[in-house]
Structure 1
């Protein structure tokens, strides 16, 4: 019988060196019962979504693209004016959680960092890992997507930085609502489009296109997350002589591209097989190459 737990939780005692620890003299992190109560109901991450997170895929106990996730984690913290995270402690917690889940072929690891209780001055941090869902069907058979208006211009990050577009915050109610709308429309996922017609990203993924022999992702200067999985696939493309580019992309490109994928840390590369009800072709062989490469990362 396997002794690998279904999930593991690590609580960080001092998630930032620039803020007080939760418990004086306690260890930097501790593994605790994930089913017990650990976070106070007054924590601003719960009451106001005032915090950030990352989701890191792990294969057989190895976190994927760990350093890229940590860099993005730090950028999100800076955008919210959270105390600078102690990345050494976060890295140790992620590694400990991943190690405990090594018996699972694939796992997801979430890092959560909040402002803590209002006025207390001590941020809250934890890392929760668990066996991931089976995404074999999505990787093989693809996803039907709908395009939804995000309600912002594509340059919102430069004109309204307080909206925090491009930071990975805990405020995911809109993303969840968008996915429910996709289901109501008979689709599996969403690609957000700006109010001025520019393709942005998925609620939990980056958009990737194969156009004229090039691997393209929407950009530059858009109010979207830097894609860690997209960055890995650009590295794959460089190894295989495939040109890459950041380009402003429209919904017309979603239909005319040779292939489109939604890529993310845990689901990896899922081909898009229909956009707004219109079927489109996919590249099964290249998709399989992408997913083998992503599963084999050791960075």
Structure 2
């Protein structure tokens, strides 16, 4: 089996599950060139994406990811994805995944400049090894995101609530965190509000109460965070959304960065301040996040 699988999608508005495979999908060589030189929208980051974790061949949280893909499409004025067509493409990609953990990526760009249709594709590849981060935890630094918490409402064209292909700032933030001797970063608004990590949601614990920054203010609503809250609420914990000041983070009883592929990584240090870690709860969280979830 190839280590990476790739599938081009022919977007259609009236996809039916009975449509033939050849009419709507084409498997391509993931190691070979696949996009036209005219695919300027991808080069400019004018598109959206999702990353779906796969555990034991099961793609996790498919509908939440597709709903967020559609939300990003609306914000970016892209054609709304046909949910059933994308579900079928994800199923095909999942069938190509081997044992262990994989990641399926969904990409939708505006397509060839002045072209009639968007470009859409799905890839599947083995996930990285995040065992150490899940077990031993990570260190983070807080970084100014460069806008205040009211910016998304004042300037919707910044697309702060969309998961776009424009990830240069996110990657630069992670590099800056590493330059400062940390593993990752947590963004803070210029008026001192906690946001999210470059590629993950933030969940904090104060006593038996779990809180994540309220979606909005440039925060992407995390699919894994939603699953974490479901797990915690089922165990009888209070799990809520709140606007949180950055000053609260070093004083919490525990904190995690949660995402579809790394899953729950406990934070052991924030800006040089040591945080408590709940290893037992973290192990429970990750066992749950590795179990099949729709």
**What range is the shorter-chain TM-score in?**
over 0.9
Which whole-Å CA distance do the structure 2 matches of 1:291 and 1:71 have between them? 23
Which whole-Å CA distance do the structure 1 matches of 2:40 and 2:49 have between them? 14
Q: Deviations over 1:210-238 (max 9, x none)?
A: 11311110015322101100000110012
Alignment length (residue pairs): 288
What SS does structure 1 have at the residue aligned with 2:146? coil
Which whole-Å CA distance do the structure 2 matches of 1:47 and 1:140 have between them? 37
Deviation at 1:26, TM superposition (A): 5.2
Which residue does the alignment assign to 2:221?
226
Which residue does the alignment assign to 2:292?
297
Q: Is the 8 A contact 1:7 1:129 kept in 2?
A: yes
Structure 2 length-normalised TM: 0.95
Deviates most, 177-186 or 36-45: 36-45
Q: Deviations over 1:262-294 (max 9, x none)?
A: 000000000001011122111101100100011
One of 231, 235, 240 as aligned partner of 1:245: 240
One of 76, 84, 87 as aligned partner of 1:80: 76
Which whole-Å CA distance do the structure 2 matches of 1:286 and 1:178 have between them? 28
Which whole-Å CA distance do the structure 2 matches of 1:52 and 1:31 have between them? 21
What SS does structure 2 have at the residue aligned with 1:93? helix
Q: Is the 8 A contact 1:59 1:105 kept in 2?
A: yes
Which residue does the alignment assign to 2:36?
40
State the superposition RMSD in angstroms: 1.4
* Mapped pair 1:133 → 2:132: no
Which whole-Å CA distance do the structure 2 matches of 1:92 and 1:170 have between them? 23
Q: Is the 8 A contact 1:41 1:47 kept in 2?
A: no
Which whole-Å CA distance do the structure 1 matches of 2:78 and 2:214 have between them? 27
Structure 1 gaps, min length 5: 19-24
Which residue does the alignment assign to 2:60?
64
Which whole-Å CA distance do the structure 2 matches of 1:169 and 1:220 have between them? 16
* Mapped pair 1:215 → 2:210: yes
Which whole-Å CA distance do the structure 2 matches of 1:154 and 1:272 have between them? 24
Which whole-Å CA distance do the structure 2 matches of 1:196 and 1:298 have between them? 37
4+ runs of 1 displaced by more than 2 Å? 44-47
One of 159, 167, 176 as aligned partner of 1:164: 159
